[in-house]
Every structure is written in C-alpha cells, then in structure tokens.
A and B are shown apart, each in its own frame.
Chain A
Amino acid sequence: MAEWLAAHTKTLSLWCGALATFAIYSVLYAENRFYRLFEHIFIGLSAGFGVYVTWSQVLAPKWWQPMVHKGQWQWIFAAVLGSMFYFMYSKKHAWVSRVIFGLFMGLSAGLMFRDFYEIYFPQMGASMKPIVGNSISWWDSVNAIVFYAILISSMAYFFFSFEHDSPVVQKTAAAGRWFLMIGFGAIFGATVMGRMTLFIGRLNFLVNDWWPTARVAWQYRFFQTAVVLAVIAVLVQGFRALKARSKTFPPSA
C-alpha cells in the first residue's frame, strides 16, 4: 500500500486538487454540503501545516535549539513575554496581557511616525513637478498640468474646514469627485482582473494538469464506474435540492 501510494503521489495529488476545486466552485451553483466539507478540510489542513512549518522553520531552529542545546538561556524571556498574551482569557489576570498589548501599541504608534515621513514625504516632494524648464518637453508640461489639475481638484473635495460657498470651489470639488470616481473605477477594474486571474489559475490546473491524467484513467473500468456513480450522486443531490427549493419558494401564479 505504502509503495503504491509513493508511486502514485503525483496522480493522487492531482485528483485531490481537482476534487477540491470542483467542491469549492460548486458554491457558485448553490450553497451545499460538499462545499462546506472541503472548506473545513482546507482550514484544517492549512492550520495543521502552519503549526508544522512554524515549529520546523521558526521555533525549533531559531528559539528552541539555541535555548536548549546552545546555552543561550536568555531566549526563555521570549516565552515569558509571549505567554503574557494568553492572560487575556483570564478575567482575574487580564491585566498581565494588557501590559504586553500596551507595549506593542506604543511600538506601533512610534513606528507610524517613521512610516509617515519615509512613505509620504517623498511623495509630497515628487508632487512638486516643474512645468517649464530646459529639460522639460512640451508633453511633460501637459502631463504636469493635468497632474496639478487633478491633484488640486481632488484635494478641494476634501477641504472640510470651510463651507464650499464659492462657485469656483464648488466646481473644483465636483471635478475632484469625478476624478476620484475614475480612480475608484480603475481600482475596481484591476480587482476584476485579479479575481479573474485567480479563476484562470484554477481552470488552468484543471485543463492542463488534471485533465491529461483523467484521460489516462478513463481506460480503467473501475474509474468509469466511479465517474458514473459520482455523476448519478450529483444529479440526485441536485434534484433533491431543486425539490426542496420549490417547496420553500413555490412558483408564483
């Protein structure tokens, strides 16, 4: 058995992957138990694998071995500090966890200062684009003017410190809102592209990785029987789902 498994690891993993893909995408038809089962299998597997990787690649080589085998006893303090987080589950000793949470909040607040000036200051500087100059072409000037028009109108939209009474401010802010909408549209378009790529990835797996092995397996009677049984099971389940649905939502006259 072990030898057979070792020899067919690749095929088995392809079939498991295909089965999981079909199960997860079955939710596009309707919510079902098959989908839920594989969702839980995925969560369990990734959690289990995560524990293994965290121990084998992080805790064991970087914390346990130096502390136990190399005499670097000071690593014990990491365990003490880390375990302080778990006191949040105790009503009586929750204050212990607040100490470590406070430490991390202070650290994050401090880091934000650095984040702000390292990330946004260069962008503010880069926004001051020259419109004319010796090395500036007419096309660069056009680009810079468009950039300033969008920058100023978008900023005008977010001026909340005073009333937008002046028609100039109103019109500029309205233009800013349009530019923002176009920006959001671009982000949404990119999101569609990203989601579509994820679907393409799965479909590519089914078409180019799994399908060739499925065609090879089709020559075995055992496999043909299994496929027929699976199709019948899916049809029966679908028919039962439709029947239950028509009972819940009777067709209107």
Chain B
Amino acid sequence: MNVLEKLQTIDRRVLYLLIAAVIAVPLLQRPSRHPRIVFAEVRNAYETLQKVPKNKIVIISCVWGPGTRAENEPQTRAIIRHLLMQGTRFVILSWDQLGSQLTYEDASEISSELGKRYGTDWVHLGYNPGPMYAIIRGLGKSFQEVFKVDRFGKKLRSIPATRNVRDYRDIGAVVEITPSGTVASWIAYFNQPFDVPLIFCPTAVMSAEAYPYLDSGQLDGMLNGVIGAAQYETLIGMENERTYAAAAAWALSCAHIFIIVLIVLGNLGYALSKRSTRRGGGKTIG
C-alpha cells in the first residue's frame, strides 16, 4: 500500500486531532488583523443601524442558546457594541431560556465597559416562550401591552429607555440573531406590514437560504455566522483588536484549507489506486 492509498484509510480520530491542532494555532496566537473584505450584506446591516434615529429603539431578538453560542454570540456582541457606541437605545428579547442569561451577561459586560447604564441605554426583556408570531404581531401594535415588564419584573413604562415606546412607529430596526428559520415570522408579521428594517444574523448553516430574502429586499442586511461578526467588528472600528471573532475567522480559514487539502489528497489516492488496480489487477481499498 503506497502513501496515497494509505491516505484513504486514515483513522477518523487522527483527522479530528489534526483539525483540532490546525484550529488551535490561530486561537493561541489570537491575530488582531480582522478581514479587510466586508460583504455587501454586512455593510448594509451596519448602515441600516447607523441610520436609526435617536428617538427610536432597536429590538435585538435572540433565538440562540448555548448550542450555537460560538456563532451567534460574536454577532450579538458586535451589534450591542455598535448600538451602545452610537447611543442608540435597544431592547433584547430572548426566545431561549439559557440564551436569555447569556445575552444579559454579554450586554452587561459591554455596557459597563463603555460606561452605559441598564434602563437608560438598554433593557433586557427576559425570556419569552412564544408563540413568536403572536408576540411579533402584537408588539407592532402595542409594545407596552405585549411586554409590560423587563426581566426583573420592572414595568417598562417606568424605565427611561422604554417609557415612550408605543408601537412600530418607535421601533427603528429589528435584529434577528438565530440558528433557526424564525426570520420568516418577523418578515410576515412585522417587516412587511409595518415597513421596519430587518437585519438577519443567522448561523452559517442558515445563511445560504437567506439570500432570496436579501435579493427581494425583505432583509436589509445580514451577518453570516462568525465571519459576518468579524466583518462587522471591522466596520465598528475594532479591526486591530484581538477578538474571538477575528481569531475564529482565521481558524475557520485554516480549517477550510485543511479540509480541502484532505479532500484533494483522498480523491487523488482513490484515483491512483483505481488506476494501479486496472493496470496490475490488484486489490481495491474499501
């Protein structure tokens, strides 16, 4: 058995270890350099949030939990940081029990880092069990009647950031951060009827299916997985900071190159072993 033939029979556990090693290098080194190329959909998302008037609020709807934290958390953090930096008020709405705690911790950390205050600059509405369509439709008509209290049970009418929010007219944009196909509910019950800008932040698995929505103008921007988050960080002036999103973007590139090399080598070995079988009448592998 020659080297190329052996490449077809590598133990999967060896491959797992090699991938872990390839990924670990950028994570250990933590390069500060962010991607200089920014996709049009990421730039559109940034510009949409830049245009939100100061008297309006942004809704950050988080459907994610610990399972997709690696992808959705960098997106959430980048959006929160941008809004706090430009002084746009926002509310976080969580549809996942564990994600509710994680998003609150993220916003608290960034908020204290930038000297912003809970209640004045942002509010967390806690966990909402759904049904999603009913809540989305309702908040467009009466924000205060649907949510009533924040995650600590305090009335939204008594909180400065949400005191004057009546309905869709006071909502400047919606950011949907999700690992599932929930964006359709926002499109059907909020974005289309009330004409409020909608930004979609899916996991990479979901992103390919979202392009028809971008093409039709139903979405105003998109952050595609952790790469989208790294590109967004570039736009908000973090291009020279050592962040997880930047390191993950490099690690992802390394992993992709490694996988492509493995695919090429595996196929090359397969083709050569087939050729030698035809010539010498030897035994095929697998």
Contact = CB atoms under 8 A, between A and B. Distances in A.
Point out which of A46, A50, A197 has the most chain B C-beta atoms below 10 A from its C-beta: A197
Given A126-B217, A201-B248, A115 B188 contact: yes
Interface residues of A, number: 42
Given A54-B129, A58-B129, A194 B205 contact: yes
Interface string B128-154: 110001000000000000001101010
Interface string B171-191: 000000000000010011100
B13 A29 contact: yes
Contacts of B259: 192
A3 interface: no
A187 interface: yes
Interface in A139-189: 183, 186-187
Contacts of B97: 46, 49-50, 53-54
B232 interface: no
B16 A197 contact: no
Contacts of B215: 123, 126
Interface residues of B, number: 58
A131 B20 CA distance: 48
Interface of B is mostly: helix
B59 to A, nearest CB: 17
Contacts of A122: 192, 216-218
A200 B23 contact: yes
B70 interface: yes
A190 B207 contact: yes
Interface string B214-244: 0111100000011100000000000000001
A123 B192 CA distance: 12
A194 B75 CA distance: 13
A57 B104 CA distance: 13
A196 B252 contact: yes
Contacts of B217: 122, 126
B205 A118 contact: no
Contacts of B19: 199
B153 to A, nearest CB: 4
A216 interface: no
A228 interface: no
A197 B250 CA distance: 11
B6 interface: no
Given A196-B255, A199-B70, 14 more contacts: A53-B98, A57-B126, A58-B129, A111-B133, A118-B188, A118-B189, A118-B192, A119-B184, A187-B209, A190-B204, A190-B205, A197-B203, A200-B23, A204-B70
12 contacts: A46-B97, A118-B188, A190-B204, A190-B208, A193-B256, A199-B19, A200-B27, A201-B69, A201-B70, A203-B27, A204-B244, A208-B244
Interface of A: 28-29, 46, 49-50, 53-54, 57-58, 60-62, 65, 111, 114-115, 118-119, 122-123, 125-126, 183, 186-187, 190-204, 207-208
